[in-house]
A = this chain, B = another copy of it.
């Protein structure tokens, strides 16, 4: 059986991670790679990934060159924002490829930009391909996992979840967009100017949960507060002195009929452990029955995003054409057998595995 063919579009931390993860899987083959940074273009993908061997795939900075292979799927990791990547998605779809993107806004564009979502959906149907936005958050911890857990409830009144992570592995860009190392005034100022943004994905997560539960939301409100450090917190990228900002406590509140039905909290900071804050993913469902879940430590954002994008390949290949979402597709799984067999079967029943 022919391998599932993949083009990797974007070779930053996420895109390179996906490419490396693909090399470990069976029945799947990278046939093209697009880098936005010109210094990567022209080199062999194996060299760019640092895997110690040639892969016979020349990295290009020209997407058309990679897409013309007409790969089964494009793994896309270039930007967070739907409007910025719309033309990239269009090009990939036009080449006849299904698309999996980790652009946060694509995780549930039906909520954040329903008009653009409908356009992409129409295009995907026209080309007969599926487009999925996924990732660890949005895409799994604060939406898909919550939705799956409500599956054991006869009724749900309210959902609350909290993802507490440690930003210390991250570099200058994340420090800047989360306001780490600023004064409280600089933090407020950055929020006002839009240079400090906090988490991208709450609108998508709230929308996905609400639609999965059949809730019509009135409003989604977000708050971003500085996490003021009581201790010195030093990483290779930042030095936060007491009284300075160690991160951004970003919260979303979604309302239905005037009542708060979804609360998602995502305090992101460097070294929370120094102040006794344990990292973890926490979900509370006020339902029948109630659910009280903890994952400690939290599912790491980088590896998790890389994994779920790769793991959704067979599910997306089996999906109906259109802009699909995590709640529409089969339960994710780390399938380590022959992806080509699974993807070209009828959906993973035993005899096809």
Contact = CB atoms under 8 A, between A and B. Distances in A.
A101 interface: no
Contacts of A326: 331
Nearest to A157: B336
Interface in A312-353: 312, 320, 322-338, 342, 346-351, 353
B333 A330 contact: no
Contact of A307 (B151, B322, B324): B151
Contacts of A294: 293-296
Interface in A264-319: 287-289, 291-297, 299-300, 303-304, 306-308, 310-312
A332 B307 CA distance: 21
A336 B156 contact: yes
A187 interface: no
A342 B327 CA distance: 13
Interface string A201-240: 0000001000111110000000000000000000000000
B299 A291 contact: yes
Contacts of A287: 334
B296 A295 contact: no
Interface in A131-181: 136, 140, 144-145, 147-156
Interface in A18-42: 21, 24, 26
Contact of A292 (B296, B310, B335): B296
Interface in A84-123: 110-111, 114, 117-118, 121
Contacts of A329: 330-331
A114 B350 contact: yes
Given A291-B295, A299-B291, A349-B325, A331 B334 contact: no
- Please tell me the size bucket of the interface on A: 35 or more
B328 A327 contact: no
B140 A336 contact: no
Contacts of A331: 144, 147-148, 151, 212, 326-327, 329-331
Contacts of A151: 140, 307-308, 311-312, 331-334
B215 A336 contact: yes
A154 B303 contact: yes
A148 B331 CA distance: 6
A138 to B, nearest CB: 13
Given A110-B349, A148-B148, A320-B347, 14 more contacts: A21-B154, A118-B351, A144-B148, A148-B333, A150-B311, A151-B307, A152-B308, A152-B332, A207-B350, A214-B342, A293-B295, A323-B349, A327-B348, A328-B349
20 contacts: A140-B151, A144-B331, A145-B148, A145-B149, A151-B308, A151-B332, A152-B332, A154-B303, A154-B306, A154-B310, A211-B353, A214-B335, A289-B300, A292-B296, A293-B293, A293-B295, A294-B295, A327-B331, A327-B348, A329-B331
